[in-house]
Chains A and B, each alone.
Chain A
């Protein structure tokens, strides 16, 4: 049973560019949440997707957007990249309400130069 998978594992982008990160949830899970983790910090909640809709959003600008597909997989898009967007982007999946065990993927390391 595959856990949460994310792609790519590493990515280097130039300031001002756009990036798309992908996540496949654990089998049986229908909810996907995205987090940004800066070096030496805890993960920060970006948003959560359920039934193909954004259900909740953290304190992130509109440059951060997402999508969930019918098969529950999800994408995170970041436009107009800033140097400060460099971080580990984590995807977590769960079943329904996040008050159940949430599984994280390995993350995508994004470096903006």
Chain B
């Protein structure tokens, strides 16, 4: 099975509320994690990344939390807006070398008006 996965395939939130998208990974050797947003018909768009020597990183309206003890990653989006509707992927990069990113299946975030 895949080492990167998401707990929920679809997440529906009210506009203005905060969203939390979760991700589990199984390879403790992974040292770099990225969240991507993909809108219909477009390529993945970088949101935020975090390295394994950190447990939290904040961007504009987004926060990524990394819990290495339970191999869990989450993306928090503050004050969700209609433009946040998309599929969100977490991705990991394993170990050294030039490994590509390993993506999970994605979570579809739906914003209710």
Which A residues are within 8 Å of any B CB, using their own CB? Answer: 4, 33, 35, 40-48, 50, 55-56, 58, 90, 92, 97-99, 101-107
Contact = CB atoms under 8 A, between A and B. Distances in A.
A107 B43 contact: yes
B101 A102 contact: yes
B79 to A, nearest CB: 24
A50 B42 CA distance: 25
A42 B106 contact: yes
A42 B104 contact: yes
A74 to B, nearest CB: 14
Interface residues of B, number: 26
Contact of A56 (B44, B46, B99, B105): B99
A104 B100 contact: no
Contacts of B25: none
Contacts of A105: 43
B105 A42 contact: yes
Contacts of A4: 43
A43 B103 contact: yes
Given A42-B89, A42-B106, A101-B49, A106 B43 contact: yes
Contacts of A41: 105-106
Given A98-B93, A99-B51, A102-B46, A44 B103 contact: yes
Given A56-B99, A102-B101, A104-B45, 14 more contacts: A35-B101, A35-B103, A41-B106, A42-B4, A42-B89, A42-B91, A48-B100, A90-B43, A98-B98, A98-B101, A99-B51, A104-B46, A106-B41, A107-B43
B74 interface: no
A41 B91 CA distance: 13
B44 to A, nearest CB: 5
